[in-house]
Amino acid sequence: MKRIAVLTSGGDAPGMNAAIRAVVRSALAQGWETFGVRCGYAGLIGGHFEGLDARAVGGIVQRGGTILGSARCPEFQTEDGRHEALRQLHQQAIDALVVIGGNGSQTGAQALFQMGFPVVGIASTIDNDLVGSDITIGVDTALNIALEAIDRLKITASSHHRAFLVEVMGRNCGYLALMAGIAGGAEVVVIPEIETTPEQVAEELRAAYERGKAHAIAVVAEGTRYDAEALVAYFREHHARIGFDLRATTLGHVQRGGAPTAYDRVLATRLGAGAIAALARGEAGVLVGMEQGRVVPTPFAAIVGRQKPIDPELFTLARILNQ
């Protein structure tokens, strides 16, 4: 009988629970035993394992967050920390580990795999910055939450002839901001991948004002050189040239908190099952992601240290549509 451990690591993402459920129940279908690790790599080092059966993962598919807890664990970035994690895995007689998480977590997974332990990753982050998966668990939910906020801000912005700077998450990746900008009909999108100066943002807002718009929305990714706070500070001195009265809203962690959308639940379920299928085929050292509608394993070596680029055509599209 195989003994599989599963953990969630790094930033939590809506849909992680659906992935845990799929891992556990797919493993049980293989006749394997499953164990949850509390709070990511910290729980691995601390030896915090608990048996998970089919009932333990009941009633969680619709819940955001992660029932296992997540953490950022600097100790795992040291060789001593990883050796202790390995010792704990051997002590619990675990045969393979499934890591549900983003870019940093999969870098950690690769480090453990390089020490000779079978690890499979599942692409889960609202940032959508992972190579090896067109879309990652949590993105769709976070996007829909951002969109709902933008729709609401538009209503109040129109009433007061205001421009809103809306800062969304995404770390160093502008995907969430770009998609929220397109779906939310933003006048301006500011992302880390394409440098935009405050002066350019001011010009765009001014142009929208002169075209007779009742409001303007600028979606700003958190990882840009000039985030919403920096732009507000700049515009405070250049108010007259924008036309609109200006406000800023940072959506922050609200974007992580929602119940996963249908898309995220299905994606997480397919990737969770895909991780167990990979282990059943004897594969390890791979990230399981969704590419062109198919569940695909990609070697960690091909994804670690890289960031998925955004599609510049989508940025152009956002600009064409902001008339």
Structure tokens at 304: 């670690």
Q: Measure the CA–CA gap between 28 and 203, rounded to whole angstroms.
A: 58
The answer to whether 101 contacts ligand ADP (rule: CB under 6 A) is yes
Q: Measure the CA–CA gap between 176 and 191, rounded to whole angstroms.
A: 9
Give me the amino acid identity at 154. K
Structure tokens at 30: 């293989």
The answer to whether 107 contacts ligand ADP (rule: CB under 6 A) is yes
- 105, 141, 224, 261: which one contacts ligand ADP (CB under 6 A)? 105
DSSP 190: E
The answer to whether 63 contacts ligand ADP (rule: CB under 6 A) is no
The answer to whether 10 contacts ligand ADP (rule: CB under 6 A) is yes
Identity of the residue, 139 or 208, whose beta carbon is nearer to ligand ADP in the bound complex: 139
Judge whether 127 counts as a catalytic residue.
yes
The answer to whether 172 contacts ligand ADP (rule: CB under 6 A) is no
Question: Residue 12 — φ and ψ, nearest 5°?
Answer: -70, 155
The answer to whether 9 contacts ligand ADP (rule: CB under 6 A) is yes
Q: Interface with ligand ADP by CB under 6 A: which range of 22-30, 70-78, 224-232, 244-252?
A: 70-78
Whether the CB-CB separation of 222 and 231 falls below 8 Å is answered with no
Segment 108 to 137, residues that bind ligand ADP, using CB under 6 A: 108, 111, 125
Q: What minimum distance in Å lies between the beta carbon of 125 and ligand ADP?
A: 5
* Buried residues in 215-240 as b, exposed as e (16+ CB within 10 A): bbbbbbbbbbebbbeebbeebeeeee
Structure tokens at 278: 């990979």
Cα distances (angstroms) measured from residue 173 to each of 145, 176, 191, 192, 309: 18, 8, 7, 7, 8
Q: What minimum distance in Å lies between the beta carbon of 30 and ligand ADP?
A: 27
The answer to whether 41 contacts ligand ADP (rule: CB under 6 A) is yes
Identity of the residue, 48 or 247, whose beta carbon is nearer to ligand ADP in the bound complex: 48
Q: What minimum distance in Å lies between the beta carbon of 65 and ligand ADP?
A: 14
Q: Which of 127, 129, 227, 264 is catalytic?
A: 127
How many residues in total does the chain contain?
323
Q: Interface with ligand ADP by CB under 6 A: which range of 99-107, 184-192, 229-237, 251-259?
A: 99-107
Which helix (H) or strand (E) segment holds residue 121: the answer is strand 119-123
Q: Measure the CA–CA gap between 274 and 296, rounded to whole angstroms.
A: 8
Give me the amino acid identity at 134. D
Q: Interface with ligand ADP by CB under 6 A: which range of 9-17, 114-122, 209-217, 231-239?
A: 9-17
Q: What minimum distance in Å lies between the beta carbon of 11 and ligand ADP?
A: 4
The answer to whether 35 contacts ligand ADP (rule: CB under 6 A) is no
Q: Given the rule CB under 6 A, which residues bind ligand ADP? A: 9-11, 41, 72-73, 76-77, 101-105, 107-108, 111, 125
Residues marked active site are found at 127
